[in-house]
A and B are shown apart, each in its own frame.
Chain A
Amino acid sequence: MIRYSLKRLLSLVLSLAIASVVIFAVIEVAPGDPASFMLGVNAQEDTLAALRAELGLDVSKAHRYLAWVTGMLSGDFGTSYTYRTPVAEMISDRLWVSLPLALFALALSTLIAFPAGIYAAARRGKAGDMAVMGATQLGVAIPNFWFAMMLVLIFAINLRWFGAGGFAGWDDGLWVGLHSLTLPAIALALPQAAILARVMRSALLDILGEDFMRTARAKGLSRRQALWRHGVRNAMIPVLTIIGLQFSFLLAGSIIIEQVFYLPGLGRLVFQAISSRDLIVVESVVMLLVFAVITVNFLVDLAYALVDPRLRSRT
């Protein structure tokens, strides 16, 4: 087990190192100079040079890469070119929006998907199953930005139950903050719920054909009891894997939803930073997301090994 963990850890470190090189290279190669973007069309050559020196852009790329990586190792993500505030601070501010939003959306999607998936599996081939499958098909097909706009049209403009966007902050209490995240969370959650419900259903259907399910029925459990006690628990393995993947996606992939609801989250930060060539912010946020995904994968690998002894002996 220890050898297995060490191997996984080594691959984690290697992945991060490779990712940092790739991220830096790809982002630095994009045309556009941060200084000239900031100073615009009337900037004089000496002014540009002064600003480049101030931003630390006058040294070689290799030098900047090393400074960036060693800075990150000591927890210093550098200072944003345009905002002139520490990148770490900006990221943590934005995480206070993106993380709760991702968790909120994940909770909603799970709450919708579990009952729907179980219900559909229990009524396999009947009208209820058809209805759930049809609805999830629709949920997977609808683009979430369009769905988001429909939500705004109905609940913000016509019914006026919610604001059309923006984030109220957590200072006025949990309820106020959650209220302003409700529409974006629903917009993010429904397509995810549709996927999750389908996975839940098919995982359950696989389980229902297993020998131990027949045994459970044979020892006198009703269909429903067998489904809940033995079926759902065993179906959780693929479902949890999907949930893990969805969480990474929700954290990093809500750029469009953040645009539609003008939420100050991580996605919008990256979007703004790319167009203003605030390279250090883009690099650091992307690196952080890579770190999050790789770490989650590492933990999942470890969890697999705990669950499945064959994995331990094989390596």
Chain B
Amino acid sequence: MRPNLKRSLVSGLALGATLLASQVWAKDDITVAMQLEPPHLDPTSAAAQAIDSVVYSNIFEGLTRFMGDGAIVPGLAESWEISEDGKTYTFKLHDGVTFHDGTTMDGEDVKFSLDRARGEDSANAQKALFAGIADVTVVDPLTVQVTLSEPNGNFLFNLAWGDAVIVAPESIENIKTAPVGTGAFKFSNWVQGDRIDLERNAEYWGAQPALAKATIKFISDPTAAFAAVMAEDVDVFSGFPAPENLPQFDADPRFQVLVGSTEGETILSTNNKQPPFDNVKVRQALAHAIDRQAIIDGAMFGYGTPIGTHFAPHNPAYVDLTGNSAHDPEKAKALLAEAGFPDGFETTLHLPPPSYARRGGEIIAAQLAAVGIKAEITNVEWAQWLETVFRGKNFGLTIVSHTEPMDIGIYARPEYYFQYDNKAFQDLMASLNETTDPAMRTEMLQKAQTVISEDYVNGYLFQLANLGVAKANVQGLWVNAPTAAIDLTGVSWAN
């Protein structure tokens, strides 16, 4: 009896240990949380970043793609050739790529996707990305030729956007609720209001992902987000909404805190057509009245990089122009007096919901008050902001983070909501678009940054940080956010 018992005990223990070991070994599912739920899952017909966060690179892929460090690398296009005049791009597609429904991905799908995005009834939120395309021709199933009306140095970059992913005519009808792409993960289930489930695509053309299943949960309330991470209900929180809690996670060996950069230039947007902001002296006074570091510390708990122009600091072409707008209240007062406002003036400050705006706005209003500018704060929802500020241009000041990558071109659009109209700048952008030589492009981009900084178009505050929390043994997450994405293809559990 006794040896028997002993043996069964030992074997039981061994079995238990193996089970435990295999469980640790086999951990191949992950629960990722993000704040906002996507309205639907078609990245080619909405601006919501939450859509890209879920689908980019996981479900859908484009001809080119962003890597976590911001590099543009080949995606579904294996390689490409650019004609001498810079107008014709010939893309060679990967062979053997199939959509999740089993249909083949070939040149016809590429033509369909690009034509759909630039077509007359296109609902693409970034239709301008495709505006330069004159023609798309399928040479053979694996070769596509795209002809541009003008050379465009940004074209490969534009194709990497989530709005430019390749979709199939066979599955386009239900793309919003049952997306069918070519990515390493297949869409499996969506419990609206709660979560989206993805599963590994066994037929994936590239390297198989380490994860077999991924669940993306939506937790909008910052307090609930904190609780969900602390209770280990979620393994990763991408875009963690409460920066004040990050030191606590950092000190806890169960977690790692990921602090990276985004493409979000957070600015005190100024209505350049509305008096007195049509006077450059007033805008300069505004710039000197602001103490960026106090805003970063107070509103973002220290997370964020000061900027002096509308450009991402991690970009090699960035120029540090923060000196143009150093915090100097006395100078601000002097400039106001020079502009004819010795006693300051009154204006409005519209604040959309994100905490960078609401918290930052209170601080900025106080800083402006110190030099005599009385900014009346109005809190608005996004829909209201779009209607009143962005489309109606009915505002004095507002705080917003411009999250599109490489978006300095908006300063060349006089009708854009902050209404900056400078012919020299518009010409500079036009020639930039036609330049493909990297050295010359860098030079022009630096010139552009300097022009808007010295014109004090807007108050340049800080580059929004990309904040994430994850279990300590999750690896392969993007630290930076060159585009909105929770790319799970390289994510795995360390043993």
Contacts and interface: CB of A to CB of B under 8 A. Distances in A.
Partners in one complex: yes
Interface of A: 30-34, 36-44, 46-47, 50-51, 54, 82-85, 90, 93-94, 149, 152-153, 156-157, 160, 163-167, 169, 259-265, 268-269, 272, 275-278
Given A84-B177, A163-B233, A268-B193, A39 B219 contact: no
Interface stretch (B72-80, B120-128, B258-266, B448-456): B120-128
A165 B219 contact: yes
Interface of B: 37, 39-40, 45-48, 120-128, 176-177, 191-195, 217-221, 223-224, 227-228, 230-231, 233, 353, 381-384, 386-388, 390-391, 402, 404
B224 A259 contact: yes
B231 A163 contact: yes
Given A42-B404, A83-B40, A166 B383 contact: no
A165 B228 contact: yes
Contact of A156 (B193, B231, B383): B231
B204 to A, nearest CB: 27
Contacts of B45: 51
Nearest to B221: A259
Contact of A50 (B37, B123, B177, B195): B123
Contacts of A260: 221, 223-224
A277 B122 contact: no
Given A31-B388, A32-B383, A156-B231, A43 B125 contact: yes
Given A47-B124, A153-B227, A166 B217 contact: yes
Nearest to A259: B221
A164 B39 contact: no
A82 B40 contact: yes
A183 to B, nearest CB: 10
B227 A85 contact: no
B230 A166 contact: no
Contacts of A160: 231
B464 to A, nearest CB: 15
A269 to B, nearest CB: 6
Given A84-B40, A84-B177, A157-B230, A262 B217 contact: yes
**Main SS class of interface, B:** loop
A44 B386 contact: no
A41 B231 contact: no
Contact of B123 (A54, A259, A265): A54
6 contacts: A42-B47, A42-B126, A44-B127, A85-B177, A163-B233, A276-B39
Contacts of B126: 42
Contacts of B39: 38, 82-83, 276, 278
Given A36-B390, A42-B128, A84-B176, 10 more contacts: A31-B387, A82-B40, A164-B224, A164-B231, A166-B217, A261-B224, A262-B194, A262-B224, A264-B191, A275-B382
Contacts of B48: 38, 40
Contacts of A41: 47, 386, 390, 402, 404
Contact of B191 (A84, A169, A259, A276): A169
Given A163-B231, A259-B221, A94 B120 contact: no
B387 A32 contact: yes
A169 B197 CA distance: 14
A165 B227 contact: yes
Contacts of B47: 38-43
Contact of B125 (A39, A94, A278): A39
A38 B192 contact: no
B192 A90 contact: yes
B233 A36 contact: no
A153 to B, nearest CB: 7
Given A40-B48, A163-B231, A275-B382, A33 B220 contact: no
Nearest to A262: B219
Nearest to A273: B39
Given A36-B387, A259-B220, A261-B224, A165 B233 contact: yes
Nearest to A54: B123
Contacts of A46: 120, 127
Contacts of B383: 30-34, 36-37, 275-277
Nearest to A42: B126
A169 B120 CA distance: 43
A261 B381 CA distance: 23
A262 B36 CA distance: 11
Nearest to A32: B383
B122 A50 contact: yes
Contacts of A152: 224, 227, 231
A190 B218 CA distance: 27
Nearest to A38: B46
Given A38-B47, A42-B128, A157-B230, A265 B382 contact: no
Contacts of B384: 30-32
A276 B46 CA distance: 12
Nearest to B49: A40
